Chains A and B, each alone.
Chain A
Amino acid sequence: MHPATPPTTNAPAGRNHRTALPRRRLLRGLLAVTVAAPLMFGAAACGDDDGGGAADPNAPVKLSIFWWGGDARAKLTEDALALYTKKHPNVTFEKTWQANQGYFDKLATLTAGGNPPDLFQIDDNYLAEYAARNTTLDLTSYQKSGKLDTSKFPESLRQYGVVDGKLAGLAAGENTQGLVYNKTLLTKNNLPEPTTGMSWEEHIAWAEQVTAKTKVPGTQDPSADYKAFWVWLRQQGKDLYKGSELGFTAEDVTRWFDLWKGARDRKATPTADVIHEGNSSDITKQLVVTGKSATSWVWANQMPDLKKNTKDELGVVAYPGDPSAQWARASMYWSVFKGSKNKDVAVDVINFLNNDQEAVKLLGTDRGLPSNQDLRRVVSDDTTDPAMKQSIAVEAELTQKFGKSPQVPIKGHSKVRSELIKAAENAQYGRATTAQAATQFIEACKSAIA
């Protein structure tokens, strides 16, 4: 009945793996309730016994693992985990996965219920939230002892999962912002393709020309998109965050909104309601695949998934402006639950997924370019998927130009993202001036990160 739970038709058999334990806990809870309600607190609080690794390395271990993604990712991940079980027959997995929407609601609920997975996928949105609340295991000691080998990682990725001096998650892959465009549409109309290094002004002028010639709006308006705003800020010498503060002012936001108001007035972008559709995080609703705009602002590793949703050829370049504002970003992380009874095994699995040649080859670039640079080369050479090849090519090109990685987003980041959407849409629908929307955004951010 949970509204955020996606259809379960594709669910693997292991999906309902956790029924036995909660039922027992529920019974215990109910007993406690009938005797005396306050005992309930005790029953809930003592759910997670702290425990280190098993003394016997061959004792059977069942490790629970949770990730978001589509069918393709599920298949690849399951294959890689099966390979681990083959090499370590005592370790089996309880696998749970679902679509991105609702994933973090469920992860939070599992954690609250004292039932979090041993190993889970997480991203910038929530890494700081979980780390700040001591939910994630600090992986630093494993990194030092070499049990978690990051020696082949680029420096930026190694740093990226660090929150308050603790390694809260290990980068599962590397990606960067990618401007994806409809190649078929442009070729058919004899229009030039966008290029890396175009200025924002040039991009908008190009989009205006596309609209005029094809009747398809040239570019999605990214004013609600935090990653586009972020790149633009870095080109202005600012940043999204500075320490525990915002790295920008209301004036910056106004200028950003004005830039796109100008673009809308010139018909370089779609109308507000279509922009709103494209502001969804859902890949299938990106305007470049629904045919409602010639470009969309996404992450480079999303190319294969986007390609699956359209017949047209797609291309990908960096966001406009100086590409050194972009950075090698951890697309997502693997984190270990701090109270896990199988910490050592969980860490070993992360190490395996990142550094074992066979496993990395199985996983491909689905979670971004492999973090291990030696294996990245192997995967790049072996990949046959054309969309994966394109995203590898653009990232390989950008690697030379990448700037320094910004700090990991702070607590409250997900609220900042949703407030940016709200403010930008207020301006797009004409319900507020750009300056009003900017002020409103700053106010909302301040209370979100307080």
Chain B
Amino acid sequence: MPKFPAGNFGTDPTRGEELFVALTTAPDPTRRGPGSVRAHTERRGPGRFRHSEGLAGYVFLSPWLIGLMGVTAVPMLLSLYLSFTNYDILTPFSEVQWVGLANYERMFTADPSYWHAVRVTLTFALIAVPLKLAAALGVALLLNRAWRGVGVFRGLFYLPSLLGGSVALAIVWVNMFNRDGAFNSLLSLFGIQGKPWVNDPDWALETLMVLAIWQFGAPMVIFLAGLKQVPTELYEAASVDGAGRFRQFRNVTLPMLSPVIFFNLVLETINGFQGFTAAFVLSNGTGGPVDSTLMYTLNLYITGFTELDMGYASAMAWVFLLAIAVITAIFFSTGRFWVHYSDGEDR
């Protein structure tokens, strides 16, 4: 995964874990952050150590803190500044010209390929994300049963996600789904005439979606963990009340799982919008055929590094960041209607 300054959250697994804990359990202020250091010292020791231990905490934190500042925060702020300039990479910073809102104006009024990329990205996310989550949940339900050798299957289903954003996998995909690829050979066994999937502008994006959906392992594992947490008493009570399999799923599993679904939905949506590697490899970095795989981030990359229009690309990155923030905020605001936190209700 390429790390663009604006919007690389969600790709860092450790932060994802924190988010997971935060989203799926009741709020507990003593759990996380520098506060937890203080909580420990209060319980343990005499007051005079408190200050120095707190300091020690920050010292131990400093590699990450400096890294965050230097590698993420400062470049991000710099890109915000650059988005108001005509920076073209080759010109030194000192000669960069301030152009006000011109880049943003161009984006919204005079750049059809920008809106094309927005459409491609939305199409991709709207179709691939729900299907991926459905596949992950479906397989997790199957693997939640106590079958013999189920551990092996869990491993096998997770495997594609380990290969994740890998370039090698995208290359394999291209070779499987071109005119004389393995997929068409399979189809021909059934007498079906295949298409040159990756080289057909009507099908290239769909091929990328299938690749994304196929890598459902990460949300699947999280679903599986969520399913394990559903108390069996609830199912027993439900079946005593005469609920069938489907009703149990609808009225017990789904509500109990809703925090996990919410978490996966947020993360996968963000990941879906950021899809880059596969599109880059499949199209040789052009977004082709005929711009059919021109994802937002790929368009941004081409604008910045190939066309050397880095000021404009920075503006794109900031609009992208805001768009993802808005979409995430919408998820959070609708969450209270359908996400049930059992901890909160019990108390």
Partners in one complex: yes
Question: Is A175's CB within 8 Å of the partner chain B?
Answer: no
* Chain B interface residue count, Cβ-Cβ cutoff 8 angstroms: 40
Inter-subunit contact B90/A414 (CB<8 Å): no
Question: Is B126's CB within 8 Å of the partner chain A?
Answer: no
Min distance, Cβ A99 to any Cβ of chain B, angstroms: 11
In the bound assembly, the distance between CA atoms of A426 and B110 in angstroms comes to 21
Assuming A30-B66, A426-B290, is B307 touching A415 (CB within 8 A)?
A: yes
A44: B residues at CB distance < 8 A: 93
Min distance, Cβ A74 to any Cβ of chain B, angstroms: 22
In the bound assembly, the distance between CA atoms of A125 and B93 in angstroms comes to 24
In the bound assembly, the distance between CA atoms of A41 and B74 in angstroms comes to 11
Which of B78, B88, B196 lies in contact with A273, CB distance below 8 A? B196
Inter-subunit contact A273/B290 (CB<8 Å): no
Inter-subunit contact A431/B201 (CB<8 Å): yes
In the bound assembly, the distance between CA atoms of A102 and B284 in angstroms comes to 10
**Contact flags (1/0) for A411-449 with B, using CB distance below 8 Å?**
000110010011001100101000000000000000100
Question: Is B154's CB within 8 Å of the partner chain A?
Answer: no
Inter-subunit contact A101/B284 (CB<8 Å): yes
A33: B residues at CB distance < 8 A: 69-70, 74
Inter-subunit contact B2/A2 (CB<8 Å): yes
B305: A residues at CB distance < 8 A: 4, 105, 108-109
Interface residues on A, range: 35 or more
In the bound assembly, the distance between CA atoms of A101 and B91 in angstroms comes to 23
Inter-subunit contact A104/B288 (CB<8 Å): no
In the bound assembly, the distance between CA atoms of A421 and B283 in angstroms comes to 13
In the bound assembly, the distance between CA atoms of A83 and B234 in angstroms comes to 81
In the bound assembly, the distance between CA atoms of A3 and B297 in angstroms comes to 12
- Chain B 81-97 interface residues, beta-carbon cutoff 8 Å to A: 88-94
**Contact flags (1/0) for A110-141 with B, using CB distance below 8 Å?**
01100000000000000001100101000000
In the bound assembly, the distance between CA atoms of A37 and B285 in angstroms comes to 34
Interface centre among B69, B92, B291, B305 (most CB of A within 10 A): B92
Question: Is A90's CB within 8 Å of the partner chain B?
Answer: no
Question: Is B308's CB within 8 Å of the partner chain A?
Answer: yes
In the bound assembly, the distance between CA atoms of A211 and B325 in angstroms comes to 55
Inter-subunit contact B89/A112 (CB<8 Å): yes
Inter-subunit contact A108/B290 (CB<8 Å): no
Assuming A37-B77, A48-B92, is B201 touching A429 (CB within 8 A)?
A: yes
Inter-subunit contact B290/A425 (CB<8 Å): yes
Min distance, Cβ A84 to any Cβ of chain B, angstroms: 28
In the bound assembly, the distance between CA atoms of A104 and B306 in angstroms comes to 7
Assuming A108-B89, A130-B90, A273-B196, is B307 touching A280 (CB within 8 A)?
A: no
Assuming A40-B78, A273-B179, A431-B290, is B276 touching A3 (CB within 8 A)?
A: yes
In the bound assembly, the distance between CA atoms of A414 and B305 in angstroms comes to 12
For A281, give the chain B residue with the smallest CB separation. B284
A101: B residues at CB distance < 8 A: 284-285
In the bound assembly, the distance between CA atoms of A276 and B179 in angstroms comes to 12
- Chain B 59-75 interface residues, beta-carbon cutoff 8 Å to A: 66, 69-70, 74
B201: A residues at CB distance < 8 A: 425, 429, 431
Min distance, Cβ A372 to any Cβ of chain B, angstroms: 30
Min distance, Cβ B332 to any Cβ of chain A, angstroms: 30
For B179, give the chain A residue with the smallest CB separation. A273
**Contact flags (1/0) for B300-323 with A, using CB distance below 8 Å?**
000001111010000000000000
Q: Which 10 A-B pairs have the closest CB atoms?
A: A273-B199, A273-B196, A133-B90, A105-B305, A112-B89, A108-B89, A45-B94, A30-B70, A425-B290, A3-B280
27 A-B pairs (CB sep. < 8 Å): A1-B2, A3-B277, A3-B280, A29-B70, A30-B66, A30-B69, A30-B70, A34-B69, A37-B74, A41-B93, A44-B93, A105-B305, A108-B305, A111-B89, A112-B310, A133-B88, A273-B200, A273-B289, A276-B199, A280-B284, A281-B284, A282-B284, A414-B306, A421-B286, A422-B291, A426-B290, A447-B110
Known: A3-B167, A34-B69, A273-B196. 16 other contacts (CB 8 A): A1-B1, A3-B285, A30-B70, A40-B78, A41-B94, A45-B92, A105-B305, A109-B89, A281-B284, A282-B284, A414-B306, A422-B288, A422-B290, A425-B288, A426-B290, A429-B200
Interface residues in chain A, defined as those with a beta carbon under 8 Å from any beta carbon in chain B: 1-4, 26, 29-30, 33-34, 37, 40-41, 44-45, 48, 101-102, 104-105, 108-109, 111-112, 129-130, 133, 135, 271, 273-274, 276-277, 280-282, 414-415, 418, 421-422, 425-426, 429, 431, 447
